[in-house]
Structure 1
Amino acid sequence: MLEQLKCLQTHIEVLKTRLGHLDSENQSLLKDKASSEQQSAAQIMQKNSIITQKQDQIEELTESLAKLKAQHQQLNHDATALAERYSRLEKSCTDLKNRFQEILAERNSLRTLKEQLLHEQQQAQRQIAELQQDRERLAQKNDQAKNKVEAIIQRLAILGTEQDHHAQEIQQLAHPTESHEEV
């Protein structure tokens, strides 16, 4: 019995030491649990603040997305308007190009006509100069002919007066009585 008692005492001692170990283990586990709880509470708070920040970012991004969608829609509308305007400008450009080609063709035909008219003008001026020379030459010939005719008329007049004078003398000789009557 004593042995059993000793055995029991040793068992009790062992149990006490085990109980002390378990108690200290329990205390350390409680401390670990408390620190884990504190850490997890801190992590939860940190995660909650991160979640709040992320939610704020999501709200900001949602607002930004709505603005960007509105801008995108406006840009699409502007792009459509610009495309229509560009096609009108392209058509106008084509029309202007065609009109420019027509103007160039008209200009070339006008140049040709101008050169032709200048050539005709030069020919007409040459003809006018030739006609003026002919007129001057004919005027000189006319003056010469006129002078010759006048000279001939003067000679004839002189001859005529001499003949008249001779004729009168002949008449006086032929009719001497008539000449006294006239005197």
Structure 2
Amino acid sequence: MLEELQRLQAHIGVLKTRLAHYESENDALAEDKNAANEQHHTQIVQKNGIITKKQEEIETLTEQLAESRTQFQQLNNDATALADRYSRLEKSCTDLKNRFQEILAERNELRLMKEKLQNEQRQAQTNIQSLEKERERLLQKNEHAKAKVEAIIQRLSVLGTAQDHHAQEIQQLEHPADANEEV
């Protein structure tokens, strides 16, 4: 019996050791559980924060989508207006092109007229030059004739005849300014 008692005491000692071991394991597991619960609670709070942020982002994106749709509609309206303006500008461009071609045709006509007038001007200048030369020639001829008449008059005045008196009268008639100065 003593042996049994010793064996029971040994079993009780082993059981106490095991109990202490299980209690320490239980405490460690309880601490792990508490830590896991705290970590889980922290994760839940973080996830809730993330969910809240995502919901806010969804609301912001929804507002942006509504604004984008409004802008898209405005851009469609602007595109329609621009298309109308473009078609009007194209028509104006065609009109301007036609007008430009008309102006080019008028310019070509004016060039031809200018060339014709320049040719006529050259011919007129040539005629003027030939007329001026003819005038010079006639003036020289006139001067030459005048000189001959004056020489004849001088010869007659030198002769001193009765005809000389007539020559003086002729000379006075030819040069009335000289006669006025003598008087």
Q: TM-score range by the shorter chain?
A: 0.5 to 0.7
Which of structures 1 and 2 has the larger relative contact order (alpha carbons within 8 angstroms, sep 6+)?
Answer: 2
Q: TM-score, normalised by structure 1?
A: 0.61
Which one has a bigger Cα radius of gyration? Answer: 1
Distance in 1 of aligned mates of 2:109 and 2:8: 138
Q: Which residue of 2 aligns with 1:12?
A: 12
Which aligned pairs between 1:38-117 and structure 2 lie closer than 5 A? 38-117=38-117
- Structure 1 counterpart of 2:101, which letter? Q
Q: Which residue of 1 aligns with 2:32?
A: 32
Which aligned pairs between 1:84-163 and structure 2 lie closer than 5 A? 84-117=84-117, 119=119
Distance in 1 of aligned mates of 2:91 and 2:5: 119
> How far did residue 71 of structure 1 move?
0.8
> How far did residue 123 of structure 1 move?
6.2
Give aligned pairs, total. Answer: 131
Q: Which runs of 5+ in 2 are unaligned?
A: 135-183
Q: TM-score, normalised by structure 2?
A: 0.61
Distance in 2 of aligned mates of 1:84 and 1:77: 11
> How far did residue 80 of structure 1 move?
2.6
Distance in 1 of aligned mates of 2:8 and 2:85: 107
> How far did residue 39 of structure 1 move?
1.5
> How far did residue 15 of structure 1 move?
1.2
> How far did residue 88 of structure 1 move?
2.2
> How far did residue 2 of structure 1 move?
2.5
Q: Deviations over 1:73-111 (max 9, x none)?
A: 211221232123123212311221121011111221133
Q: Deviations over 1:145-175 (max 9, x none)?
A: xxxxxxxxxxxxxxxxxxxxxxxxxxxxxxx
Q: Which runs of 5+ in 1 are unaligned?
A: 134-183
* 1:3 equivalenced with 2:10 (yes/no): no
Distance in 2 of aligned mates of 1:5 and 1:20: 22
Distance in 2 of aligned mates of 1:9 and 1:86: 108
Q: Deviations over 1:32-88 (max 9, x none)?
A: 111211111112112211211121111111101210121122112212321231232
Distance in 2 of aligned mates of 1:76 and 1:10: 93
